[in-house]
Amino acid sequence: MIPVKTSSVFKSRWMALLWAAGILWFAYDFAGSQPQDGNDSANAAQATDATGAAITSDDTNKLAQELNSF
């Protein structure tokens, strides 16, 4: 991640500031905020099983009962 030796970066204040600015820029670019939609629930996809049929609450209850029986 550091293209030069760290010992030479911190010999100069300006080089250290430039290095720190690069780290901050990378962090902002990597984890910068994205626009948030106000209604995410409308964009959610319906959960389906392996056959493509929609999963109902009865299906989840049956699965929970089977897992609890172990």
Instruction: Give per-residue pLDDT as tens, 8-63.
Output: 767 888 888 998 999 999 988 888 766 666 656 666 778 888 898 999 999 999 99
Q: Of 30, 28, 8, nearest to 19 (Cα)?
A: 8
Residues recorded for the chain: 70
Q: Which residue(s) pair with 54 in the sheet?
A: 48
Phi, psi (rounded to 5 degrees) for 12: -120, 135
Question: Is the pTM above the cut of 0.75?
Answer: no
The three-state secondary structure class of 57 is helix
Under a CB-based contact definition with an 8 Å cutoff, are residues 9 and 3 in contact? no
Chain centre distance of CA 45:
19
